[in-house]
């Protein structure tokens, strides 16, 4: 590839990352946001997600105003925002005293390299646009960050990320550019929702809200998936923070859906997304999930009450339940619309849910990490 062509292809991705990084700096304190080598992928992934949604909103607004400015004009306002943010430094604080993670072994390091390599090879082999590859790589980084926050073992989370890379590689093979873009937003929404429940980090909560609501920019069907994810996020958010999450979810979803309305084609296949049956199914399933959560919370005793938990890693049941309910809330409306009845439509229809399923798989099956200084004793004869 000619260097000029390569730079022209990379320029939009750099613009997206820049805009997203500026927005990320404006969010509440928390993670991701660090620039150390091991934490840079999560920071870039969140920036790519935010930048894509922000520039997409600007583009839709320009279309409504019947304006056609150059792409650089959409980025220019963010230069002023970045300057204002730089003037108001120091930056936001993040937790300083975090538990030391388990060091990655040789197998985990090999799997970490294999996952992005699989996406890169699929992109090169099928001559896919770099934007699709960037979406896939950002999703891999989000999944890895979520599993790391839940303190899963390096090998376990690397294996889950590799499985996700293979699934996305198959999506690139099928030229499923739109489903991969949706998968980034639904998957990132689930990943940051899990981080929010694990860490109580409001930056992660806002990232989850923006990711799910950003589905609306891609169409009304996609807005329905984002709405299902936001409902699951609200249901599983602790009571004191539910109103805070609900207010931001309603505003973000309304903005995203209104902006995506311009791409709605009433004569396109699947355009019957807004129909009473689909809406009724989503409402009924959401009420059932909410009621079940209330009953489980009322019956379950306080976990670990009266027990010493020092040095132990909390289980992932809270994160798993949120991801599972998000999948359920997405599947029922899809089934009501007949998306799961035709085999040829099954793979692209389910691709946006693949990150959620694999994230739950990692939360269930990946063992907890072994923190430094807690080596397992070697087996030997019992002492008398």
Convert the chain into a string of H (helix), E (strand) and C (coil).
CCHHHHHHHHHHHHHHHHHHHHHHHHCCCCCCCCCCCCCHHHHHHHHHHHHHHHHHHHHHHHHHCCCCCCHHHHHHHHHHHHHHHHHCCCCCCCCCCCCCCCCCCHHHHHHHHHHHHHHHHHHHHCCCCHHHHHHHHHHHHHHHHHHHHCCECHHHHHHHHHHHHHHHHHHHHCCCHHHHHHHHHHHHHHHHHHHHHHHCCHHHHHHHHHHHHHHHHHCHHHHHHHHHHHHHHHHHCCHHHHHHHHHHHHHHHHHHHHHHHHHCCCCCCCHHHCCHHHHHHHHHHHHHHHHHHHHHHHHCCCCCCCCCCCCCCCCCHHHHHHHHHHHHHHHHHHHHCCCCCCHHHHHHHHHHHHHHHHHHHHHHHCCECCCCCCCCCCCCCCCC
Tell me, rounded to whole angstroms, the distance of Cα 269 from its chain centroid. Answer: 27
Looking at residue 372, its pLDDT comes to 63
Hey, what are 309's tokens? Answer: 């938990």
- For residue 152, the cross-strand partners are 368
**Structural domain includes residue 309:** no
Of 137, 21, 131, residue with least CA distance to 81:
21
95 burial via Cβ count (<10 Å: 0-12, 13-18, 19+):
exposed
What distance in Å separates the CA atoms of residue 212 and residue 185, rounded to the nearest whole number?
6
So what's the pLDDT on residue 373? 57
Range of the domain at 195: 10-92+105-300+316-365
In a domain, 67, yes or no: yes
Q: What is the pLDDT of residue 167?
A: 93
86 inside domain: yes
Residue with tokens 């979803």: 253
Q: Is residue 47 part of a domain?
A: yes
Round to whole Å and give the CA distance between 74 and 64: 15
Domain contains 373: no
The pLDDT tens digits for 65-103 are 888 888 888 898 899 888 888 777 655 555 556 667 777
List, for the chain, all residue ranges whose pLDDT scores fall below the cut of 50: 1-2, 266-267, 271, 302-308, 375-384
Domain count, the chain: 1
pTM of the model: 0.89
Residue 5, phi-psi category: left (phi > 0), alpha (psi -120 to 50), beta (remainder): alpha
Q: Rg for the chain (alpha carbons), in Å?
A: 21
352 occurs within a structural domain: yes
Q: What are the two backbone dihedrals, phi and then psi, of residue 370, each rounded to the nearest 5 degrees?
A: -105, 100
In a domain, 219, yes or no: yes
Q: What is the pLDDT of residue 286?
A: 92
Give a yes or no: residue 324 inside a domain.
yes
Q: Apex CA 382: angle with CA 381 and CA 384, to 5°?
A: 125
pLDDT at 374: 54
pLDDT the model gives residue 307: 43
The C-alpha atoms of residue 373 and residue 375 are separated, in whole angstroms, by: 6
């Amino acid at each position: 590839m000619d260097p000029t062509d390569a730079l022209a292809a990379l320029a939009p991705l750099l613009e997206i990352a820049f805009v997203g990084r500026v927005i990320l700096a404006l969010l509440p304190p928390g993670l991701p946001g660090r620039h150390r080598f091991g934490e840079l992928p999560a920071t870039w992934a969140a920036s790519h997600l935010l930048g894509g949604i922000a520039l997409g909103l600007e583009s839709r607004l320009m279309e409504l105003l019947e304006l056609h400015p150059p792409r650089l004009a959409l980025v220019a306002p963010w230069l002023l925002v970045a300057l204002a943010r730089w003037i108001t430094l120091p930056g936001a604080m993040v937790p300083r005293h975090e538990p030391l993670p388990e060091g990655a072994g040789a197998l985990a390091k090999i799997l970490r390299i294999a996952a992005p390599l699989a996406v890169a090879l699929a992109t090169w082999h099928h001559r896919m646009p770099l934007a699709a590859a960037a979406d896939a790589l950002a999703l891999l980084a989000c999944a890895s960050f979520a599993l790391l926050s839940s303190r899963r073992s390096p090998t376990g989370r690397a294996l889950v990320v590799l499985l996700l890379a293979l699934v996305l590689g198959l999506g690139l093979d099928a030229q499923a550019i739109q489903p991969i873009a949706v998968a980034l937003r639904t998957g990132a929404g689930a990943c940051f929702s899990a981080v929010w429940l694990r860490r109580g980090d409001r930056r992660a909560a806002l990232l989850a809200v923006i990711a799910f609501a950003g589905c609306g920019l891609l169409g009304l069907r996609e807005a329905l998936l984002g709405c299902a994810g936001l409902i699951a996020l609200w249901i599983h958010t602790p009571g004191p923070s539910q109103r805070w999450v609900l207010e931001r979810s309603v505003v973000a979803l309304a903005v995203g859906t209104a902006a995506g309305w311009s791409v709605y084609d009433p004569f396109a296949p699947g355009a019957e997304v807004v129909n009473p049956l689909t809406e009724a199914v989503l409402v009924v399933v959401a009420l059932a999930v909410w009621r079940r959560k209330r009953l489980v919370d009322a019956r379950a005793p306080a976990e670990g009450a009266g027990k010493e938990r020092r040095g132990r890693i909390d289980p992932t049941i809270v994160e798993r339940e949120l991801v599972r309910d998000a999948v359920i809330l997405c599947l029922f409306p899809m089934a009501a619309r007949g998306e799961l009845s035709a085999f040829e439509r099954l793979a692209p229809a389910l691709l946006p849910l693949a990150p959620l399923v694999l994230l739950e798989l990692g939360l269930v099956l990946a063992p907890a990490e072994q923190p430094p200084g807690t080596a397992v004793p070697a087996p030997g004869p019992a002492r008398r």
